Amino acid sequence: MRVYFGSEFCEYLIPSKRELINAHEKSLSDGFDFTFVTPPVTDTGVEKLQVLFEYLDSVEMEIEVVANDWGVVTLASRFEFLQPVMGRLLNKMLREPRFNTMYKNSEVPKAPLKIFQNSGISSNFMEIIKRYRIKRIELDNLYQGFGEDLNLHGLDASVYLPYGYIASGRMCYYAAVGRPTEVRFLYGRECQKQCIGNSATMVSEKTADLNNIIQKGNTVFYKQDKTMIDKALQWIKNNRARVVIFEDPIELPAKAFENIEDAEACLSRTFENQRNIFSKSYEN
C-alpha cells in the first residue's frame, strides 16, 4: 500500500514541516510507500514547498511528488530524490457531470464520445514530460469512461475513486464565511480552514443525475456510483494502473494500491456504512 499525503487543491492546506515529517515517518514505520501531494501555488506556496522538498530530498530515497502546478513540477525536478507526478489539475480531461444524462441515450453518436474519453496528454507534451522526469499521470474516473484507445504515451497511470473533481479555483465560499462583504472573496487573507470536516451537496431541480455533486473548500467534486466504479476497476485491471482511494474529497491521507484485489477490499471496507457508493442511486 502507498500513502498519499498533502494538499491537492489549496495552498492554505499545505502541511507544516512537522506534519510532513510525522506523516512520512509513520508511513515508513507502517511499511508503506509515501507520495506527497501538492496544489497550485502562489510565490508564498512555492516558499513553503521549497522547505518541505528539502526535507524529503534529505531522506535520500525516491519519493513521489504529485504536482498540480507547472512551477511545482519544475521545483520538484531540481531535487535528486523527488519523482514528479503529473497531477489531475495538469491533466486536462472533460469532467462534465451532464454526460451522465447526455449519453444514456444509446442513439447518440459514438465518434464524439471517443474524443471526450481521452486524456489531455498528447505527443506535444512529451518533450516537457521527459524534461521533468515525469513517469506517472493522475486520472479522474470520467462519467463517459475511458476510451479503448486512451493513449498515455507510456506513462504509468493512477485513477482516483470514488470522488472526481469538476472544477477548482482560488476563491472559496468556505473561507468567505463570516467575513464582511467587501473582503469576502479577496485572496491572500488568513484562512481558518473551515472546509475541514464540512461539505455541501449541490442539488439540481432539473435532474436527479446531477445530485451527486459535492462542494468542499474551493473545489467541486462528483461522487461516483457503482456502475462508474466497476467500469473503472476493469480498466485499471486491464491497464495495470494504480487505484487512489479517498474517504473524503480533500482531506488526506488517502490510500493507494497497485493490486486490484487490495483496492476492491479497501473500497468495500471504507464505504460499507456509506450509502450510494455501491448503489445506483444518487440520493443523499
Give residues with Cβ within 8 angstroms of 107, minimum separation 6. Answer: none
Q: Break the chain down into helix, strand, coil percent, rounded to 5.
A: 35, 20, 45
Region of 259 please: left (phi>0), alpha (psi -120 to 50) or beta: beta
Task: Give one DSSP letter per residue of 133-158, joined into a string.
Answer: T--EEEEE--TT---TT---TT-EEE
pLDDT classification of 278: cutoffs 50, 70, 90:
very low
Whole-prediction pTM: 0.85
Angstrom distance (rounded) from CA 171 to CA 217 = 9
Q: For all residues of the chain together, what is the average pLDDT?
A: 83
DSSP H helices, 193-273, are 226-239, 260-271
Q: Which one is predicted more confidently, 175 or 244?
A: 244
Q: Alpha helices of 98-225 — where are they, by DSSP H?
A: 99-102, 110-116, 126-131, 173-176
pLDDT at residue 78 in the model: 96
Element (H, E) at 29: helix 17-29
User: Which one is predicted more confidently, 109 or 258?
Assistant: 258
The per-residue pLDDT for 279 is: 38
Q: Is the pLDDT of residue 93 over 70?
A: yes
Would you call 167 exposed, middle or buried from its count of C-beta atoms within 10 A (0-12, 13-18, 19+)? Answer: exposed
Helix (H, G, I), strand (E, B) or coil at 275: coil
Stretch 12-30: mean pLDDT, rounded? 95
Helix (H) or strand (E) holding 17: helix 17-29
pLDDT tens by residue, 71-91 = 999 999 999 999 999 999 998
Check: CB of residue 196 under 8 Å from CB of residue 7.
no
